[in-house]
């Protein structure tokens, strides 16, 4: 029903709300995703509806500016799908909501960002209070081998005043020592520099919190005052456009003032999908180094060092034989963190039963880990083993050619990648020269069908499996 009151400034007719705003919000959430919706759209309300436009309210000026610049067109499209006569939308600040935001932020969480001794910034929060440098994770106790030597040397050099590269980007699989190196850099540089050391997840957490509390100015000021900005696990930002936008501007501001930046990830910048190209370009602009899978010798040295450390720190540490240490180094092939965890489990067993365990007992204690390790082989290892078995090159197997001599090994490699890694189907497809996930599904079904029909094919699968699980 139309209200006869006229809006003289716009010469349009004010009407009773006929738009289903709840339905529109639901459609926008489906379009943008829950994360963006909860951060920016959820608190938008329909204030007034005219015959050709609507007025929406937002809690703060900052949110209004952000929504207008990035999501206004999508919101208008969603409204037009509900009511075609709407030609534009206008945004107003809800004064009552804005006052509430200011009141709620009176106990400003940014006040808990305290500067402790040694010019190190600790980020403290009542729920998440662990963004601290660990004194035990330093350069002195980082065990160096061929797989991590470049990353270690680059990290130490980065701490020098005349280091010629910035940023430093360190990547490698989970548990290989990336965080240890970042922590070591922070400990080394804190004496002369203002350090901020935070995970990408925590950066996102404080960013969203600052928006809700109308504290963006203080948020920006806090993070951009750093002399050294260390951020761990940047892959967490994949697909999070809002966070990426703020990280991009923070990164630029820090670089412009000559601050040093250290980033870690589980993959190289070029393989960070769902990350803005301009961000990947900047991450690649300094020095990029990787930590490769650990060798048997490195694992053995780490285990000996950790065992000796336990003996020095705890008088009740039982004696562990060299054979047991070698067994652990041989079996714990996934990552360094898990290798140390296995040693700690054996030490705990020894203390409880007051005995030095043999290898049989170790196998029982570590049964779950050993079985899990047999399932956690990298796609790269699978590709290498399969290509070698069929006497073809890795380049040939990954090529677009579809000859039978290449398709069979390719299918088998995809099959093992699906069965023996935790990677998703799209991730597996990307590892095979950016093939579609449906290709992976087809490969797995083909292999399973041939295994059931052909004895020789099944024997090939078993031989390859045996070779895979011997890889160290």
CA-based angle 207:212:215, to the nearest 5?
Answer: 65
Mean pLDDT on 233-250: 89
Query: Kind of pairing, strands 12-15 and 88-93?
Result: unpaired
Indicate the average pLDDT of the chain. 81
Q: Which tens digits make up the pLDDT trace of 156-167?
A: 999 987 778 899
Query: Would you say the C-alpha torsion 317, 323, 326, 332 has a positive or negative sign?
Result: negative
pLDDT confidence of residue 15: 61
Which of 20-24, 172-176, 448-452 is predicted with the least confidence, judged by mean pLDDT?
172-176
**Range of weakest confidence among 60-69, 80-89, 211-220, 243-252:** 60-69
Kindly tell me if the per-residue pLDDT of 335 is higher than 60.
Answer: yes
Domains of the chain: 2-102 (3.30.300.180), 111-291 (3.40.50.300), 296-373 (1.10.8.60), 379-468 (1.10.1750.10)
Average pLDDT over residues 232-254: 90
In this prediction, residue 128 carries a pLDDT of 35
pLDDT band, very low/low/confident/very high, at 471 (cuts 50, 70, 90) = very low
Whole-prediction pTM: 0.55
**443 close to 415: Cβ distance less than 8 angstroms:** yes
Q: Does 187 score more than 60 pLDDT?
A: yes
């Amino acid at each position: 029903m139309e209200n006869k009151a006229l809006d003289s400034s716009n010469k349009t007719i004010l009407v009773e709300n006929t738009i289903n705003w709840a339905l529109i919000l639901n459609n926008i959430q489906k379009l943008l995703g829950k994360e963006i919706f909860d951060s920016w759209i959820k608190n938008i309300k329909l204030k007034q509806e005219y015959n050709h436009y609507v007025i929406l309210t937002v809690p703060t000026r900052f949110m209004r500016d952000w929504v207008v610049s990035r999501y206004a067109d999508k919101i208008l499209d969603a409204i037009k799908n509900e009511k075609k006569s709407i030609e534009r939308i206008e945004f107003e600040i809800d004064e009552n909501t804005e006052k509430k935001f200011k009141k709620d932020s009176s106990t400003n969480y940014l006040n808990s960002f305290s500067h402790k001794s040694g010019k190190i910034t600790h980020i403290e929060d009542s729920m998440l209070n662990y963004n601290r440098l660990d004194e035990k994770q330093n350069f002195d106790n980082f065990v160096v081998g061929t797989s991590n030597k470049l990353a270690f040397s680059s990290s130490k050099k980065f701490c020098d005043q005349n280091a010629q590269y910035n940023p430093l980007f360190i990547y490698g699989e989970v548990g290989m020592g990336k965080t240890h190196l970042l922590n070591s850099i922070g400990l080394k540089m804190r004496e002369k520099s203002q350090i901020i050391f935070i995970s990408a997840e925590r950066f996102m957490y404080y960013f969203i919190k600052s928006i809700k509390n109308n504290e963006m100015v203080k948020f920006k000021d806090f993070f951009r005052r750093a002399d050294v900005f260390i951020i761990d696990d940047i892959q967490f930002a994949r697909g999070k456009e809002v966070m990426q936008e703020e990280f991009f501007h923070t990164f630029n501001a820090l670089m412009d003032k000559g601050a040093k930046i250290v980033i870690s990830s589980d993959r190289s910048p070029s393989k960070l999908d769902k990350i803005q190209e301009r961000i990947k370009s900047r991450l690649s602009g300094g020095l990029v180094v990787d930590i490769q899978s650990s060798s048997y010798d490195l694992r053995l040295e780490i285990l000996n060092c950790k065992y000796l450390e336990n003996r020095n720190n705890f008088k009740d540490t039982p004696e562990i034989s060299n054979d047991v240490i070698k067994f652990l180094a041989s079996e714990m092939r996934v990552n360094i963190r898990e290798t140390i965890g296995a040693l700690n489990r054996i030490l705990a067993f020894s203390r409880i039963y007051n005995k030095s365990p043999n290898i049989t007992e170790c196998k029982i204690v570590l049964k779950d880990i050993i079985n899990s390790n047999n399932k956690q082989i990298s796609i790269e290892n699978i590709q290498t083993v399969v290509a070698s078995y069929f006497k073809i090159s890795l380049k040939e197997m990954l090529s677009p050619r579809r000859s039978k001599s290449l398709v069979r090994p390719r299918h088998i490699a995809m099959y093992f990648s699906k069965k023996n890694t935790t990677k998703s189907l799209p991730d597996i497809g990307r590892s095979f020269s950016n093939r579609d996930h449906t290709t992976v599904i087809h490969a797995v079904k083909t292999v399973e069908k041939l295994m059931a029909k052909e004895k020789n094919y099944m024997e090939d699968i078993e031989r390859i499996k045996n070779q895979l699980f011997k890889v160290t």
